[in-house]
Structure 1
């Protein structure tokens, strides 16, 4: 089978069999079976996902990461490889990321058999990028302690850029993503005796108003931040004072200090609710993803690799405002993450990530493997 047949077969199988974060059991088994056919050693530090290793001909060890999970989205593409699982879809291109890395593994195995693999390689097939912080889970599980990794590389498909273009940026390229939740508890009463209750409806209005002012009055206006209110509710019945209230949303920042400011203000808002409305209020933060930081010392490796793979390199002036858990790999070693354009207007491949119509041409996965291989073969040249 040629490489286009390879990527088409594997990507479409994965696309038809998507699995949600931390439930990628069949996906993990599929990758493991493939690695077994190549006689490549791997370990499973978590219940899903795996980490493989190939020794090369130098003391350098570099890592490549692909995420393997899907999203809770009902696919609307009318294709013969449409998701077979209702309300689960590879709507973020992780089926493509996984397939491109599988192809690269195949190429590296051939080089190793020829005694020509330049460096030691760690292949990361990571679970739970969308929710659950799979990268951080792998790190905490000690998955990489035995490997002296010098650099970690990763890619993401980007449907808003044309095929053949790759977006790069030194330092922050994606934002931190932190979820927050306010829990309000008051005292219910009949509407006829509303003064006897402690209304979470009134208190929630206050919380909504004050959270909405954080970005306006407490953050530097020259920086790009998002304090988003995604869902809120209060009350139990049409004729009673609301005894419960709830608000949830997400915070996106590039600067850790800005995130701290937002969290501090939210804590003050929660404290003020008790004083003003006699309603208890607690705010909780879900450990989020830090900004994805591209180490400038790896830029030459990345640019050389992309150019030799015949990509057009686009330097992004500002970061994206979405989160990405590749960010955790900077704890291991310098890392660099790029966005590979897959937009094809002629075929209608123009919808964004996390949409029910995301699709792309499989030949782009070969080009991603080309980029990976160029990084591999030129790494020591640039590092001198």
Structure 2
């Protein structure tokens, strides 16, 4: 089949059969079957996902990554390839990322069979990008210890960038993502004797107010940060003093120093609750993904490859404020992550990531493979 037929077939199959993070069992089988048919070797370091490898003529080893998981979203697209799994959807474009890498594997296998593959190539079909930190899990499982990887490249579809354009940025291009949770424990009493209780309602108001002030008073106003309060609650009954309270939210920064400031202020807020309200308060942090850092030393490779693939390069002046676990690959080697535009107003492909209407033209997946090809064949020369 030609390449347009290839990307249409595989992307739409994957789109119809989405699986959540760490449950991508059928997706992994589908990719493995494809690799078996090609005769490409692969490993399964985790229960889901896999890593394939092809040796080339050169002495460099370059890695390319695609994420394979989906989201707990009910699809609202009226298309014949809509999700067959209720409340699960490829609403972040990972079906496209996976298909583009599969096409690139097919090309690389052809070059390998002809003795024309210029470098060693590692293909990472990674599970659990959305939740679970699949990249970090692979690294901790020593999945790459047999591969002297020199650089790692990845892409993400972006519906707010015009089709045919690619947004790039040196250094940080996505933010860190850290969750926080405040737990408050006081003393209940009847409302008629409210002074005998220690109210978590009063204490929670203080926590909400002070967390809301962190951005205003403790962070540089010229920097983009988010300290978001997502859910909070207190109390048990209409006529009792609340004996418990809870707040959860997320912190998004692209400067590790800013993240440290936010966490320090939250710890101080938790300490103040005991003094002011005689209520116990603890704050826990669930470390998420660090900022995705694009190595400036790879900039020329990326820019030349995109232009040679006939894609327009757009310099992004500020990072995106969502998290992305491609960030962990910078622990292995210099890495670079770009956002491939998929916006097509004529077809209505304008809705954002993680929405029930996300869709795009499969033709752009061929352009992604073209970009990977240019990286591979010109890596030594740039």
TM range (shorter): over 0.9
Distance 1:374 1:367 in 2: 11
Query: Could you list the per-position Cα deviations for residues 54-80 of structure 1 after superposition, in whole angstroms to 9, with x for gaps in the alignment?
Result: 100011000000000111111110111
Asked if 1:138 corresponds to 2:138, the answer is yes
Query: How many angstroms does 1:241 deviate by?
Result: 1.3
Asked if 1:275 corresponds to 2:242, the answer is no
Any idea what SS the aligned residue of 2:342 has? strand
- The within-5 A match list for 1:148-227 is 148-227=148-227
Runs in 1 of length 4+ with deviation above 3 angstroms? Answer: none
Distance 1:64 1:184 in 2: 45
Query: How many angstroms does 1:44 deviate by?
Result: 1.0
Query: Could you list the per-position Cα deviations for residues 267-320 of structure 1 after superposition, in whole angstroms to 9, with x for gaps in the alignment?
Result: 111111111111111111111111111101101110111001000000011111
Structure 1: any 5+ residue segments left out of the alignment?
A: none
Distance 1:348 1:25 in 2: 32
Query: Could you list the per-position Cα deviations for residues 197-231 of structure 1 after superposition, in whole angstroms to 9, with x for gaps in the alignment?
Result: 11111111010000011111111112111111111
Distance 1:193 1:46 in 2: 57
Asked if 1:366 corresponds to 2:357, the answer is no
Equivalent residue number for residue 2 of structure 1: 2
Query: How many angstroms does 1:191 deviate by?
Result: 1.4
Equivalent residue number for residue 255 of structure 2: 255
Distance 1:28 1:201 in 2: 48
Distance 1:81 1:240 in 2: 53
Equivalent residue number for residue 381 of structure 1: 381
Distance 1:351 1:240 in 2: 46
Equivalent residue number for residue 334 of structure 1: 334
Query: How many angstroms does 1:114 deviate by?
Result: 0.3
Q: TM-score, normalised by structure 1?
A: 0.98
Distance 1:327 1:201 in 2: 39
Query: How many angstroms does 1:196 deviate by?
Result: 1.7
Distance 2:188 2:80 in 1: 54
Query: Could you list the per-position Cα deviations for residues 327-353 of structure 1 after superposition, in whole angstroms to 9, with x for gaps in the alignment?
Result: 110000000000000011111000000
Any idea what SS the aligned residue of 1:351 has? coil
Equivalent residue number for residue 59 of structure 1: 59
Any idea what SS the aligned residue of 1:156 has? strand
Any idea what SS the aligned residue of 1:268 has? helix
Distance 1:374 1:293 in 2: 22
Equivalent residue number for residue 29 of structure 1: 29
Distance 2:336 2:373 in 1: 15
Equivalent residue number for residue 349 of structure 1: 349
Any idea what SS the aligned residue of 2:380 has? helix
Any idea what SS the aligned residue of 2:379 has? helix
Distance 2:181 2:89 in 1: 27
Equivalent residue number for residue 312 of structure 2: 312
Query: Could you list the per-position Cα deviations for residues 114-138 of structure 1 after superposition, in whole angstroms to 9, with x for gaps in the alignment?
Result: 0000000000001111111111111
Query: How many angstroms does 1:110 deviate by?
Result: 0.4
Distance 1:313 1:9 in 2: 29
Distance 2:120 2:72 in 1: 36
Distance 2:276 2:45 in 1: 49
Distance 1:188 1:74 in 2: 41
Any idea what SS the aligned residue of 1:116 has? coil
Any idea what SS the aligned residue of 2:239 has? coil
Distance 2:17 2:193 in 1: 56
RMSD of Structure 2 on Structure 1 (CA): 0.7
Query: How many angstroms does 1:190 deviate by?
Result: 1.6
Q: TM-score, normalised by structure 2?
A: 0.99
Equivalent residue number for residue 117 of structure 1: 117
Distance 1:285 1:29 in 2: 35
Distance 2:22 2:324 in 1: 16
Distance 1:377 1:251 in 2: 40
Distance 2:310 2:56 in 1: 26
Query: How many angstroms does 1:86 deviate by?
Result: 1.1
